[in-house]
Amino acid sequence: MSGDTLIVQEVATRDGFQIEPVFVPTAEKIRLIDALAAAGFSRIEVSSFVSPKAVPALADAAEVFSGIRRRPGTVYVALVPNPKGAERALAAKVDEINLVASVSETHNRANMGMSPADSIAGFARIMDSVRGAPVSTNATVATAFGCPFEGDQPVDKVVAQVERYLSLGIDGVTLADTTGMANPRQVGRLVARVLPLVGPGRLTLHFHNTRGLGLANVLAAYDAGARRFDAALGGLGGCPFAPGATGNICTEDLVSMAHEMGVPTGLDLPALIGLSRDLPRLVGHDVPGQVAKAGRPCDLHPAPAKAA
C-alpha cells in the first residue's frame, strides 16, 4: 500500500445505525457488513457493546459479530465504553476494541456518566484484561475539536489524553470531532501536534459534517500527514443537537474526492454507491451523501439533442 493511500474505516453500522429510530434487522446488518468488506474495507467498525437499554439499535452486537463472514485483510472493530463491554467484545471475537472518552468533562459525564479520569481508569483495567488476547486496541478522544457544552478544548489537554492512551499501551488513537465543530486550520494544527506522537499508521481522524466542513477537514488533515479516516456510508449519523443536520462524513463522497485527487483508497466506489443507494430502504429516510445522488464526476450524461 502506497504511503499516500487514504484508509477509510467504515462506521455506518455503528455510528450511523446507533442514532436511527428504527431497528435495522440483524440479517440486514450482516449482509451490509459483508458487502462492505467485499468492497475492500480494511477496517469496519461493526457495532458497539454498550448497554442495550442505552442504545437499543445496537442490542444485537454479538449476533452481528457471530453472523458476519470474516474477510481476510479486514479488521472488524467494536466500540466499547467500559470493562463489561470489553468482556462482551472479547467473547464475540472482535479484532479490535475502540475505547472512547471525551476530553470535555461535561461531555463525558453526559455521555458516559463519569469523569474522563474515571473513564480512562476503566481503560487501564480493560488493557489489563485484554493482555495476551488476540485483539488490538484503539482509543478515541471525543470532543477533541470542541464540546457542544463547553466550547473549545485546550490543545494541551487533548495531547495529554493522547499521551495517557499511549502510556497504557493502546495501539491506536482517534481524534474525534464528535459534533462537527472543527475547522481546517484547527485540524491542521492538531494533526501536526499529535502525528509525531502516534504516527500516521495509528492515528485516525473522525469528522462529522454537521456544519458542512467534513471533507474540508479531511483535506486539511490529509495534507498535514493523517492517512486514516472514519466515514459512514451515505453520511449516516445525524447529530443529537441539530435535527436535520448531516452526520458522519460520507464514505462514498470521501472516496470519490480521494480518487479524483489521485489518492488511492483500495475501495470499489461503484459498489459503495450501490450500497448507499440501498440505505433509505434500511433506515426509512433519505441520506445526506451526494455522490450516490449525482454519480461520480466521470459518469457523463448524453448531450441534449439540440446540442448535436
Q: Which residues does the annotation mark as catalytic?
A: 239
Q: CB nearer to its own copies: give 138 or 246.
A: 246
Q: What sign results for the dihedral spanned by CA atoms 242, 244, 245, 249?
A: positive
Q: What sign results for the dihedral spanned by CA atoms 56, 124, 239, 219?
A: negative
Minimum CB distance to its own copies, residue 167 (Å): 27
Q: What sign results for the dihedral spanned by CA atoms 224, 230, 233, 238?
A: negative
Do residues 165 and 195 lie in contact, with contact meaning Cβ atoms separated by under 8 Å? Answer: no
| Residue 300 C-alpha from the chain's centroid | 31
Minimum CB distance to its own copies, residue 113 (Å): 7
Q: CB nearer to its own copies: give 230 or 253.
A: 253
Minimum CB distance to its own copies, residue 183 (Å): 4
175, β-bridge pairs? 141, 205
Q: CB nearer to its own copies: give 26 or 183.
A: 183
> What nine digits make up the cell of 257?
474526492
> What nine digits make up the cell of 260?
479524483
User: How far is 41 from 76, CA to CA, in rounded Å?
Assistant: 10
Q: How far is CA 219 from CA 15, 21, 99, 188, 226, in A?
A: 22, 32, 26, 9, 9
Element (H, E) at 102: strand 96-102
Minimum CB distance to its own copies, residue 85 (Å): 20
DSSP string, 20-43: -SS---HHHHHHHHHHHHHTT-SE
Minimum CB distance to its own copies, residue 106 (Å): 5
User: How far is 153 from 144, CA to CA, in rounded Å?
Assistant: 7
| Interaction site with its own copies (CB under 8 A) | 106-107, 109-110, 113, 146, 148-151, 180-181, 183-186, 209-216, 218-220, 235, 239, 241-246, 250, 253, 256-257, 260-262, 286, 289-291, 293-298, 300-304, 306-307
Q: CB nearer to its own copies: give 155 or 219.
A: 219
Minimum CB distance to its own copies, residue 202 (Å): 25
